[in-house]
Amino acid sequence: MASLVWLPLPASASLLHLAGPVPEELGVDQGHLAPCATPAHCAREDWAVADPAAAFERLLPAVLALEGVELVETGEGYLHATATSRLFGFVDDLELHAAPQAGVIEARSVSRLGDSDLGVNAKRLARLRQALQPS
């Protein structure tokens, strides 16, 4: 008689991998991140800070601490990372941009697939916003 063995998935594994296409509007265009086409699966915020470059550097550890995050690109005041959900492997794109001329950090998190993110992208940005608060 055959028996079933339960093997738990590691924290980084998912049952599926629903990546979807990489959005074309990623990156900084004319000094800004793209707006959200719809708030149903995208969150976009500007955070006023005294020193955008220093705030940007403070955010890097907070980004790396988010579950399922992998850095894709970092450069002069710009970060692109992906966040993969644990269960189904949905991929979201996270972008941060230090805009010194505006005195802000621009933040954008967008799902690649689906009509709704169930608030996941807004929650991700809220966690990052907390990292900017004085300790």
Run means of pLDDT, 10 residues per run, the chain, 135 residues: 49 59 91 94 96 96 95 95 90 97 97 88 97 83
pLDDT at site 88: 82
Who contacts 5 (Cβ-Cβ below 8 Å, separation ≥6)?
Answer: none
Q: Would you kindly state where each structural domain of the chain is located, as residue ranges?
A: 42-131
Contact, 116 vs 47, CB < 8 A?
A: no
pLDDT at site 129: 97
Architecture of domain 42-131: 2-Layer Sandwich (3.30)
Can you list the positions of beta strands (E) in 20-90? 42-48, 69-75, 78-84
Distance CA 27, CA 32 (A): 8
pLDDT at site 15: 53
Q: HSE of 87 in the Cβ direction (CA atoms, 13 Å)?
A: 0
pLDDT at site 40: 92
